[in-house]
């Protein structure tokens, strides 16, 4: 999913102080942006879990062989 673009910018003719709370296009953008953020967060958690699993497996393997040599 691509990051949504904000509907308003410096060139927006309807722009005024506090318009984000009234503008329907901006409310839609906020919903899409929140959905995008949640998706990215879920993806990040998945990659972190994979990395932690790999690190734990490597640590267990190396520490097991070290313990066997000491005995």
pLDDT in tens, 10-58: 888 888 888 888 889 889 999 999 999 999 999 999 998 888 887 777 6
Q: Is the pLDDT of residue 67 over 60?
A: no
Rounded CA-CA distance 27/35 in Å is: 13
Nearest Cα to Cα of residue 30 among 9, 4, 68, 10 = 4
The encoded tokens of residue 4 equal 């949504």
State the pLDDT at residue 14.
81
The rounded distance, in Å, linking the Cα atoms of 28 and 6 is 9
pTM of the predicted structure, to 2 decimals? 0.65
CA–CA dist 3, 37 (Å, integer): 9
Say how far apart CA 45 and CA 25 lie, in whole Å: 30
């Amino acid at each position: 999913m691509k990051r949504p673009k904000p509907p308003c910018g410096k060139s927006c003719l309807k722009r005024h102080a506090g318009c984000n709370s009234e503008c329907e296009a901006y409310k839609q953008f906020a919903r899409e942006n929140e959905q995008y953020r949640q998706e990215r967060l879920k993806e990040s958690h998945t990659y972190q879990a994979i990395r932690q699993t790999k690190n734990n497996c490597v640590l267990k393997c190396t520490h097991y062989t070290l313990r066997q040599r000491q005995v």
